[in-house]
Amino acid sequence: MNNRRMVIVVFLWVATLVSALGVVHTTQRSRALTAELVKAQKQRDELRYEQERLLLERGAWSAYSRIERVAREQLQMRAPASGERVIITEQ
């Protein structure tokens, strides 16, 4: 009977040790994943900010008044006079 108790005590001691190591491992993994999550959320926020900035910039670059100004100043374009217009009809 004494031998049997010793086996049970050793088994329980090993089970407790394995359980403790599992808790340590799980806690460490949880901390690592939490740090990774925070890093990913920060990157997401930076990308959202960049997207908003780019959308505003695209709107500014494609504004009709800007396109007209660039066409007049840099490309020396102008609206055709009525005598310069040609109407093409389908045949």
Give the start-to-end residue ranges of the domains of the chain.
2-77
pTM score, two decimals? 0.54
pLDDT in tens, 25-42: 999 999 999 999 999 999
Please check the confidence at residue 59 and state whether its pLDDT lies above 90: no
As a whole number of angstroms, the distance between CA 86 and CA 80 comes to: 10
Give the list of residues 6+ apart from residue 27 with CB closer than 8 angstroms, or none. none
pLDDT band at 89 (very low <50, low <70, confident <90, very high): confident
Residue 2 pLDDT: 85
The rounded distance, in Å, linking the Cα atoms of 61 and 44 is 25
Q: How far apart are CA 33 and CA 74, in angstroms?
A: 54
Residue 91's pLDDT is 72
* Average pLDDT rounded to a whole number, residues 9-18: 96
